[in-house]
Structures are given as C-alpha cells and as structure tokens.
Homo-oligomer: A and B are copies of this chain.
Amino acid sequence: MATIKDVASDAGVAVGTVSKVLNGQYVSAENKRKVEESVRRLGYQMNYYARGLKTRYTYTIAVIVPDILNPFFACLVYHIEKELYKLGYKMFLCQSQMEPEKEAYYLRLVSQNKVDGIMGITFNENDAYFTGDIPAVIFDRHFRGPVCCISSDNFRGGELAAERLLAGGSRKLLYIRTGSSLSSETLKRGQGFASKCQERHASYEMLDLGDDADFYPEQGILEALKSRMEGGVPSFDGIYTSTDGLALEVIKQLDHLQIQVPRDVQVIGHDGLRRMNRGDYLVSSIAQPVEDMARAGVECLLRQIRKEETEDITILPVTFVEGGTTRIT
C-alpha cells in the first residue's frame, strides 16, 4: 500500500506539502493538483483510526435530507457527493424522513467527532444542536449560531413566475403551496409572487395547503380547484406552485376537470426538475441552480472546518425554464 512518501515522490513535492494538502491547509494550486492526482493514482489512504485519534478529522461529512425519493433532494445529494469526493471526503447519507430522532442521531455524530461536519435540509426543530461549534450548512433555512444557509433566490423566483404568467396572458393568478412553514427561505416564493402581482396591479390569490397535503394531496387540490370554478369556468387562469411535484399534481387535477394546460390555464412550478433527472423539464418552472448550491454548500462547510470566515447566507440566482405548461411569449 502506498505511503505518504510514495505520494510525495510521485507528485514531486515534499512530504510536508502532501501532509498540508491532506489536512486541508494552504499550498499552491499547482502543488495541490499534483498531490491530489498522486493520491488518486496511487490509491493512497491514511490510516483511519490512527488518523482519527491524532488529528480528530475523519474526512467524512454527514448529509441529511428528508429522503432521496424526492428528485430535488436526489439531485442535491448527487452534486454534493460528487463535490465531496473530489475534495477527498466521504459522505454519510441520512434520510431523516422528517423524524426528529433520526436527524438528531446524525447531528450527534458531529459532536462525537465521527464526522467533520454536517449539511443538508432539515425541517425539524433541532435548533439546539446548531448552537455549538459544529460546522454545519443548511439549505433554505436559518438557524441561530454559526450555521451557514445556502439558498437560491426564492423571492426573485416568485417574481419571475408572476411575470411569466402575466406575459403569457394570464390575468387571474393563483399561488398554491404545500409543505412545512419552517423553511423560512422557501416561503419567499409566495412573497415574491404576491409582490410582483401587486406591483403590476394584477388580481391574485394565495392558497396554502399546509403540511398534510405534502404527499398524495390529490383530494385537497381537486377540492381547492373545484371550489374556484363556476359553470365549468375557473376563477384563475395562471397558477404558480411552490414545487414542481405540486405543479404535476395540479395539472393532473386540471386534466380531470377538463381544463387544458397551457391553453386555459398556464402552470409554473418551482425547482426545475427534469424527466428522469436528465431529459426535458417536467413543467415550466423556476429552476434552482442545484449544482452551484451544492458546490457553495460544500465550500462553506469546508471553510468552517478549517475555522475560516464564512458568509451567514449565500443566495444564488434562479432562472425560468420552459416546460410546455406556459404559453410561448
């Protein structure tokens, strides 16, 4: 098995340089690249337990998401794992499934030095775990303490959706959301939407179906839509939903009601999900820059681990994507 000396020799640098790279300390970009290539090529691995006892770094990050059945979370984890691997980190995957207990189990791993940091999406009231000196990055939500928040520009996303619906000829707009109200950042989707409608003096309604409607919300959506129809004619002609999953459910129910999308009603979702995560967009949507968010999150976490300064919150730009459920303008 390769030793640190083999790596230094292969890379043509000093052993101390290799050591610095492995411990995340500063070396020139060129030397860093050489060392990383040699580490990869020789399959060099430090002795884990020995290293664990000595440096207390595990080169392991725990990533928490509700579950990876949700394609948005799967995309986020996909990019995080790729990014972490590039930097020599392994990744524990924890699917919290909204169980505070399971989240707490993984959060404790940090304080027990079993992982160097934690990142992900949490909807539980685990604020208590984030008050100490734990390197942590949370997407779309603020915590007290030194936790970084990475988000995309949800407010602008809501504005964009309203702009696009209006540009496509819709005049009676409807916003529908489901899910936890804990995620402070994502609530801005509706706020941006309402703000733009007001600015444009457009008629709009805000509908919050709450937590319960998060999975299989068919009945709730159907009733909400039906109650907004008279004589087969809906009181709305443009819908923005808080997620693409919800947009798909809404379109399914509109189809039941024989309302055609986008002819009768335009629909815009949020997230920018693609068919099989690689193909066409599922619906017209506000796309989040998932890869950039993953990269920013990993970078922010590693800065915390190295005790460097970090921003409290990083907001990345969103874009409108055409997915066949809006009229071409």
The residues of A with any CB-CB pair to B shorter than 8 Å are 40, 43, 45, 48-49, 52-53, 60, 63, 67-71, 74-75, 77-78, 81-82, 85, 90-95, 97, 101-102, 104-105, 108-109, 112-114, 215-216, 245, 248-249, 275-279
Q: In the complex the two chains form, is A48's CB within 8 Å of B43's CB?
A: no
Q: Are B279 and A248 in contact (CB under 8 A)?
A: yes
Q: Which residue of B lies closest to A40 (CB)?
A: B101
| B contact residues around A91 at 8 Å (CB) | 92-93
In angstroms, Cα B47 to Cα A112, docked, is 8
Residues of B within 8 A of A75 (CB): 69
Q: Is the CB of B278 within 8 A of A104?
A: no
Q: How far apart are the CA atoms of A113 and B48 in the complex, in Å?
A: 9
Per the bound structure, the CA–CA distance linking A7 and B216 in Å amounts to: 39
Question: How far in angstroms is the closest Cβ of chain B from A54?
Answer: 10
Complex contacts, A215 vs chain B, CB 8 Å = 278
Question: Is there an interface contact between A102 and B90, defined as CB atoms closer than 8 Å?
Answer: no
Contact B245 A276 (CB under 8 A): yes
The answer to whether A277 and B49 touch (CB under 8 A), given A77-B93, A78-B95, A95-B81, is: no
In this complex, what residue of B is CB-closest to A112? Answer: B45
Q: Is A48 within 8 A of B112, CB to CB?
A: yes
Residue of B nearest to A277 (CB): B69
Complex: how many Å from CA A97 to CA B278?
Answer: 14
List of B residues within 8 angstroms of A74 by Cβ: 68-69, 71, 74
Extra inter-chain contacts (19) besides given A48-B114, A92-B92, CB under 8 Å: A40-B105, A48-B52, A49-B53, A52-B52, A69-B75, A69-B277, A69-B278, A71-B71, A71-B74, A71-B276, A77-B93, A81-B94, A81-B95, A82-B95, A85-B94, A85-B102, A91-B92, A92-B93, A248-B279
B113 with A43: CB separation less than 8 A = no
List 27 contacting pairs A-B, 8 Å CB cutoff, sorted by A.
Answer: A45-B112, A48-B52, A48-B114, A49-B49, A49-B52, A52-B52, A60-B92, A63-B93, A67-B78, A68-B77, A69-B277, A70-B276, A70-B277, A71-B71, A71-B74, A74-B74, A81-B93, A81-B95, A82-B95, A82-B97, A85-B94, A91-B92, A92-B92, A216-B278, A248-B276, A248-B279, A249-B279
